[in-house]
Amino acid sequence: MTDRPVILWFRRDLRLGDNPALAAAIETGRPVIAAYIHDPKLDGRAMGGASAWWLDKSLRALAADLSGRGSSLVVRAGDAETEIEKLVEETKASDLFLNRMFEPIAWARDARLAETLKGRGVQAHGFNATSLATPGAVCTQAGEPFKVFTPFNRALWDQARPRQSRCAPDHIRGPDSPMTGINIDSLALHPRRPDWSTGFSDWTPGEAGALVALDRFLDQALADYSGDRDRPDREGTSRLSPHLHFGEIDPWRVATAARTAAEGGEVPYAQAEKLCAELAWREFSIQLLTAFPTLASENYKNGFDRMAWRDDPAGLAAWTQGRTGYPIVDAGMRQLWATGWMHNRVRMIVASFLIKDLLIDWREGERWFWDCLVDADAASNAQNWQWVAGSGADASPFFRIFNPITQGEKFDPRGDYVRRWVPELAALPADWIHRPWTAPPMELAAAGVGLGETYPAPIVDHATARNRALDALKATRG
DNA sequence: TGAAATGTTGGGGCG
DNA sequence: ACGCCCCAACATTTC
């Protein structure tokens, strides 16, 4: 009756299965207070709008899952560190259980908090639930973080061991007396006036939605993953990124499921390995951000500090709004705005366009993605933008400039992806859909396309812009 | 996880 | 038969 409770602090581990901190909290045999503190700067940076949309639904799913197990989610809001200290004080909790966050600011906060609590006789217990390996655990023989992906990928799968898989607990013993908290509605995470999220309805945030997404992927996409993952006109990707970001599923579960399918002969082994390589890129980003905390704000290769980025508000606006006149770029930017997600191949194309064709600083793109993506993640977002810019670790060279026309023709050959997201071009035949300005006037007229009227003319000439970018690169070497 | 320029090769037309 | 040209296809280099 006088059992002191323990606190389970949910953060980026919004699931009940495969949750080591939860399992450990339950094993104490004490009442478990399941808490979520809404701190918009939980990972050190104000949460983007699309992420907030996702969090809203994921928290509701988690709260419902807890209710079904005799527990409930205690929601509070404010500075995470302060609120946890208050909660510990209020509940006289003996222990704090959490799964670690690896963003440098969050890591430092958690370390500080653990120290503070220790001084009050409260023990903090940290676990890993979100990355395949603890950042820093997989390193070179010299003890350095890997700066090249391929050897990192090899070492990761060589050294990291799968986490024990755990079913969600049937029952969670809650606190003896009811806890006060706030309603998820009051967090106002869902957009209002205007509600721009009407196109987000294909997503099912939460643990159950994550497991459905994994099953869909294993059944329908894994067998052709390595080729189809590059095709925005197909459902060839896993679409697991937001689920992974919020910790609704364990990356080890994903990797193991894919390899099990390969071992069972259901899919070629190479396909499963391709998926594992993508999980390893996520992991590579996490360990890079840990080793280089300024990855989201500073060029990893400081030679890029000399790059003469253009100040071009009109160009940036055309890019964000999907009005560049390059159909594959505009389709991607509109898909992002409408659904909170963009196909990975198209992310590379639009990023190359912003950085190289428009010669706009990659940080502008990083910021836009941060606000618009449901899978916005400090590590992946920073690493991938720097990868395209050429300023990152093991990055694509700057002179690798995507041609938005040939990329479109190669990866969206019939133009179906463009037609879906740029409906004003829908009637244009495949021959012209990726370069409408070269279409004969008769064809444009027949398709109801008026360049500069119903659809913009290209805001830059690619060949000219390409040379401008290469000149800008040369100038940094002077 | 590129593109474009440049270089090389080989088949076919043709004098 | 042979050399020459053209040019597509492929390979290499450069950014």
Give me the pLDDT at residue A282, please.
98
Asked if strand C comes closer than 7 Å to A269 Cβ, the answer is: no
pLDDT score, position A3? 87
Residue A274 beta carbon within 7 A of nucleic strand B = no
Phi-psi region of A188 (alpha: psi -120 to 50; beta: other; left: phi over 0): left
Of A266, A309, A437, A443, catalytic: A309
Reference A435, options A395, A470, A406, A400; nearest CA is A406
User: Which chain C positions come under 7 Å from a protein C-beta?
Assistant: 15
Q: How far apart are CA A468 and CA A14, in angstroms?
A: 46
- Catalytic status, residue A368: no
Distance in Å from C13's C1' to A345's CA comes to 26
User: How far, in Å, CA of A385 to CA of A300, rounded?
Assistant: 11
Output the CA torsion A101→A102→A106→A112 (10° steps).
Answer: 90
Rg (CA), chain A: 24
How far apart are the C-alpha atoms of A20 and A23, rounded to whole Å?
5
Closest to A17 in 3D by CA, of A203, A207, A161? A207
From the Cβ of A411, is strand B under 7 Å away? no
Give me the catalytic one of A362, A370, A421, A432: A362
What is the pLDDT, as a whole number, of residue A477?
82
Half-sphere exposure of A24 (CA within 13 A, CB side): 19
Does residue A474 reach within 7 angstroms of strand C, measured from its CB?
yes
Q: Which tokens is A395 given? A: 């990055």
Of chain A residues 434-463, which have a beta carbon within 7 Å of strand B? 462-463
Q: Within 7 Å: CB of A240 and strand B?
A: no
A475 touches strand C (CB under 7 A): no
Has A252 been annotated as catalytic?
no
Of A56, A57, A22, the residue nearest A129 (C-alpha) = A22
Q: Tokens 């800008």 identify what position?
A: A472
- Whether any strand B atom is under 7 angstroms from the Cβ of A28: the reply reads no
Relative to beta strand A123-127, strand A95-99 is parallel
Which chain A residues in 305-364 sit with Cβ < 7 A of strand B? 344-345, 348
Q: Is A309 labeled as catalytic in the residue annotation?
A: yes
Rounded to 10°, the helix A362-372/A378-389 angle is: 150
DSSP label at residue A293: T
| Nearest C-alpha neighbor of A156 from the set A244, A271, A273 | A273
**Which neighbouring-strand residues pair with A127?**
A99
Catalytic pick from A298, A344, A437, A443?
A344
SS3 per-residue string spanning A70-85: CCCEEEEECCHHHHHH
Residue A8 forms beta bridges with which residues? A34, A97
Give CA–CA dist A353/A462, Å, rounded: 9
Helix (H, G, I), strand (E, B) or coil at A37: strand
Query: Which nucleotide shows the minimum CA-to-C1' distance to residue A410?
Result: B2
Instruction: Please report the pLDDT score of residue A177 as a whole number.
Output: 86
CA to C1' distance (Å), from A402 to C10: 22
Q: Which of residues 397-416 of A touch strand C (CB under 7 A)?
A: 397, 399-400
Q: Is the CB of A277 under 7 A from strand C?
A: no
What does residue A369 show for φ and ψ, rounded to 5 degrees?
Answer: -60, -40
Chain centroid offset of residue A293 CA: 18
Determine if strand C comes within 7 Å of the CB of A306.
no
Q: How far is the CA of A328 from the C1' of B6 (A)?
A: 29
A385 is catalytic: yes
**How many residues would you count in chain A?**
478
Quickly give A7 CA vs B8 C1' distance in Å. 71
**Residue A286: closest CA among A394, A150, A392, A381:** A381
A284 touches strand B (CB under 7 A): no
Residues of chain A where predicted confidence (pLDDT) is lower than 70: 1-2, 478
> In this structure, are residues A123 and A97 in contact, taking their beta carbons and an 8 Å threshold?
no
The helix or strand, by DSSP H or E, that contains position A344, with its residue range, turns out to be helix A344-352
Nearest to A350 by CA among A367, A372, A366, A328: A328
Helix (H, G, I), strand (E, B) or coil at A123: strand
A400 touches strand B (CB under 7 A): yes
Tell me the residue type at A193: R
Residue of A385, A387, A421, A432 marked active site? A385
Nearest nucleotide (CA of A399 to C1'): C15
- Residue A406 CA to C3 C1' — how many Å? 39
Q: Please tell me whether any atom of strand B lies within 7 Å of the Cβ of A406.
A: yes
CA dihedral sign, ordered A67, A56, A33, A16? positive
Helices (H), A160-268: 207-220, 225-228, 241-245, 251-263
Q: How many CA atoms lie within 13 A of A293 on its CB side?
A: 10
Nucleotides of B under 7 A from a protein CB: 1-4
Whether the bond into A429 is cis, omega within 30 of 0: no
> Residue A94 CB closer than 7 angstroms to strand B?
no
Check residue A478 and give its pLDDT.
Answer: 67
Q: Which two tokens stand for residue A308?
A: 């003469």
Query: How, if at all, do strands A32-38 and A95-99 pair?
Result: unpaired
Q: What is the pTM of this model?
A: 0.97
Can you tell me the distance from the alpha carbon of A34 to that of A19, in angstroms, rounded to the nearest whole number?
Answer: 13
Contact A407, A349 (CB under 8 A): yes
Tokens for A227, please give them: 């080729």
